[in-house]
Amino acid sequence: MKNDLTCGVVRDLLPNYIDGLLCVESRQAVDRHLADCSACAAALAAMRAQEPSAEEQTREVDYLKRVKLRNNRKIIAAVVCTAVVLVTALLAKLFLIGAPLQPQSVAITETAVVEDTLHLSLMSVGSGNAFHGWHVETENGIASIYARDVLVSPLYSSGDADLEISLEGVQEVWLGGVSGRLLWQDGVVISPLALELMEARAPYCGDPAASARIAEILRLPDRLGSYTFSLQTDKHPYEVTLEFGEQPTGEQLSLVTCYNLLTLALVDNLESSLFKRPAYGDLSMIVNVGMELDGVNDMVLPALVEEYNAANGADWEPKASIKDYTRSPADLQRLLMVLDSFYGPGLFTRGG
């Protein structure tokens, strides 16, 4: 059979010839050419001499496998190290560094002022929380108490703290800074009740939710049983009324009286507050007990303050109007203390 392949074509086909990639017909044609052409046969021999041996190929494959294995190990180690760093940072955040104390996470269990020093006992609201790094910063007459809140661990296991804050040159003491919770102002410890009532102040008695909110803060629905609530805003005097369906107890009457006084103080345009109750011995008769703003300012308030001063050795001056007691938390706290002293210990000055 005629060999029609030129040397140039054969040289181009030799790499595929060596790798066994030629078809049968092409391979036979190359074989015939190589049998007759010593130059191309020599080129084939040289190309085959340059190929790595089977052993060398095996060593190269093994090397590549080792490189790949090392790279995989490095990747795994990097992932594990990253995970360890992240977990360590999280644990440090939770158990060591913590977060700034939030006032709502702390309960005030005891307060006292002794010789210009405010003594505080605090307790964590959550059993799994502890505090550390307590410190006080004072600036422009305002003392701010700060701490870090962490999870309980052997490092920090206590959610309680006893603090002493010097009141020299201080007008206010705050827990967590001025955006937190006010604890002391102008000579008196401020209760959570006073702060809640300050937030419930309203400019207009025509809003039933405002007066109802005051009743909720004082827990009237739980403490008074059945009663109805109404407002009169069609004419002066603007008025709020509580009406009992049954004869209230003496403590309930004291509570309602205090509610009426506080509502007069906290609702700006309210001019009268009263409650209705069945008469003693005759439930068919209704007794109206009313409080007009002028009468409260001229007679009731001075009498209450005088009674408080006598019982507590104080020298407070009654304000011109009961509404003046909502100018600051300290003023409202003093009003609560006066009412608590006259109408029953513990009636309003709940702590915490």
Q: Choose between 247 and 102: higher pLDDT.
A: 102
Is pLDDT larger for residue 303 or for residue 51? 303
Element spanning 217, H or E: helix 208-217
- Which residues form the domain of 216? 196-343
Same domain, 243 and 288: yes
For 137-187, what is each residue's pLDDT tens digit?
999 999 999 999 999 999 899 889 999 999 999 999 999 999 999 999 999
Is 351's pLDDT higher than 60? no
Model confidence at 283, pLDDT cuts 50, 70, 90, reads very low
CA 94/CA 160 separation, integer angstroms:
18
Task: Report pLDDT for 218.
Answer: 87
Residue 244 has pLDDT above 80, yes or no: no
62 and 42 in a common domain:
no
**Residues 256 and 128 placed together within one structural domain of the fold:** no
| 331 and 216 housed in the same domain | yes
Say if CB 350 and CB 191 are below 8 A apart: yes
Report the mean per-residue pLDDT for the chain: 86
In a domain? residue 135 = yes
Sequence-ordered list of residues with C-beta below 8 angstroms from that of 267, at least 6 positions apart, any chain: 201, 202, 203, 204, 205, 210, 211, 214, 240
Q: Are residues 280 and 216 in the same domain?
A: yes
Tens of pLDDT, residues 176-221? 999 999 999 999 999 999 999 999 999 888 778 887 888 889 888 8
Q: Give a yes or no: residue 138 inside a domain.
A: yes
When pLDDT is cut at 50, 70 and 90, the band that residue 352 belongs to is very low
Q: Which of 80, 97, 114 is the last residue of a domain?
A: 97
Domain count along the chain: 4
Span 276-305, average pLDDT: 76
Above 90 in pLDDT, residue 30?
A: no
109 and 200 in a common domain: no
| 257 in the same domain as 314 | yes
Domain co-membership, 114 together with 239: no
pTM attached to this predicted model:
0.72
